[in-house]
Amino acid sequence: MKCSSSSVESNLSCVKSRTLRCTGLLFAFALFLSLHAFPQEATFVGTVTDPSGGAVPNATITLPITETGLSREIKTNPTGEYVVPGLHIGHYVVKAVASGFKTAEKTGLVLNVGDRARVDFPMQVGGTTESVTVEAAAIRTQTDTGEQSNLITGNQISELAINGTSLFQLAALAPGASNDITNYKDVPVGGDTAVSFNGQRTAHNAFMLDGGENYDRGCGGCVSVAPSSEAIAEFRQLTSNYSADYGLASAGTITMALKSGTSKFHGSGWENNRNDAFDARNYFFPAPNKKQELRMNIFGFNVGGPIIKNKTFFFYNMEWRRYIDGGSTNQTVPDPSTYTGDFSSVTTPIMVPSATRVSPSVLFANCPGGVAPAGIVPGTQFPGNVIPSCMINPNTTALLGTGFLPTPNGAFDPVTGDAPFVGGRQHSAEFERRNGSH
């Protein structure tokens, strides 16, 4: 589009129109890429042979996926072998057609994320109009790769109780894995992914999402985006001896696949709820102290379906997370009666610092004449467990007078004679106000 008008208004209109057109083209190009950039890193491999075991070259292999009706097609090579990578997870019917042989078909095949499934076809002599259909049996031994891995299915993700709905806690269920997660709250960006595989460093793990890298290299072991666990179709923990195709980690690799739209409309909704009303009381905070607040509401919905039947599909996920995580404090504090230096009610002896720890010229600097008051001997107990006022720094007295220390709401420790403790509520309320997340 060329703009040649001498009018300023016309030129502005022309520029806007051209900008909109370019934006539209870029959006269409991005959409085109997105429709073709969803490999699930799953693969079918196999060999087509004749009744004598010889290779059948140039046989046509078709692989329609049940959920969407989309199909892939490939020819076998001169040795009768085929490999079909980058397939979406789901249920497949794999068919082999070759001239002079009956059409062979295997149904009930399930492809999971990270799979490398073998489907061989021993062909029978006959016409292509004849067919032999076999329902596939579950593959019990993986012979096409030596990887050590563990699959977590979508049903397991949805139905297993996960603290904070963090799917990375499920990753710790793999054999040889150790859960080092300390922050149970799942967050959209980053998140605590500290799972160690076979004793390797957690920072040396890598994460894949729909076949692409989902790894924050600047963080070391973090994900760039933590999708909703309800949007994950399944994921696989690759713990050792896996293919160099991944090549990003020296420890484990977690490869995840998002749910996608199918030829039928589907939707779901959920809420994960935790509340202190369901919790037992903390043993160290007996009544009348209130329990520290815990409010965790994670809720959302999924919806997916066809845009153009058997051609284009959509899937949409929305999730909200609301957190109030009240902290609690069980900390010893001095009794206000001791602020003046009177520890006569405390059984623990209060000692005068020795001359090797504090110089007498400093210790008694504020006392009359700069000398020790009567009865005060460095290295011995203060008489009556009372510290003379001249030995207390006036700045300390002023600081204690501000009330920055909470008053105790507990009792003295009968064993050690420690000062009273302050428990829970006075501090946790402020903690909740400052750290609540919505």
Compute the average pLDDT of residues 291-310. 88
The Cα–Cα gap between 214 and 223 comes to 6
Pick from 168-177, 315-324, 423-432 the range whose average pLDDT is largest.
315-324
Residues of the chain with CATH 2.60.40.1120: 42-135
pLDDT tens figures, 351-384 = 999 988 999 899 999 999 999 999 999 999 999 9
The phi, psi pair for 391, rounded to 5°, reads -95, 5
In the beta sheet, which residues pair with residue 44?
Answer: 84, 117
- What is the mean predicted confidence (pLDDT) over 72-76? 93
> Tokens 């051609």 — which residue?
311
Secondary structure letter of residue 249 according to DSSP:
-
The residues, any chain, with a CB within 8 Å of residue 432's CB and separated by 6 or more, are 292, 293, 324, 325, 326, 327
Per CATH, which fold does 148-253 belong to? Ferric Hydroxamate Uptake Protein; Chain A, domain 1 (2.170.130)
Q: What percent of the chain has pLDDT over 90?
A: 27
Summarize pLDDT for 375-416 with one digit per residue, the tens.
999 999 999 999 999 999 889 888 988 888 877 766 545 444
32 falls in which pLDDT band (50, 70, 90)? Answer: very low
Residues in the chain: 438
| pLDDT classification of 167: cutoffs 50, 70, 90 | confident
Cα→Cα distances 64→74, 111, 233, 386, Å: 12, 12, 19, 88
Question: Which amino acid would we find at residue 127?
Answer: G
95: pLDDT strictly greater than 90: yes
* pLDDT tens for each residue of 99-133: 999 999 999 898 888 888 899 999 999 987 777 88
Q: What is the mean pLDDT of the chain?
A: 79
Instruction: Note the pLDDT of residue 15.
Output: 47
Question: Kind and range of the H or E element at 430?
Answer: helix 425-435
Q: For residue 14, what pLDDT band results from cuts at 50, 70 and 90?
A: low
- Distance between CA atoms of residues 418 and 34, nearest Å: 65
Q: Would you say domain 42-135 falls under CATH 2.60.40.10?
A: no
Q: Where in the chain is CATH 2.170.130.10?
A: 148-253
Mean pLDDT of 249-271: 88
Q: Is 268 helix (H, G, I), strand (E, B) or coil?
A: strand
* pLDDT confidence band for 288 (50 / 70 / 90): confident
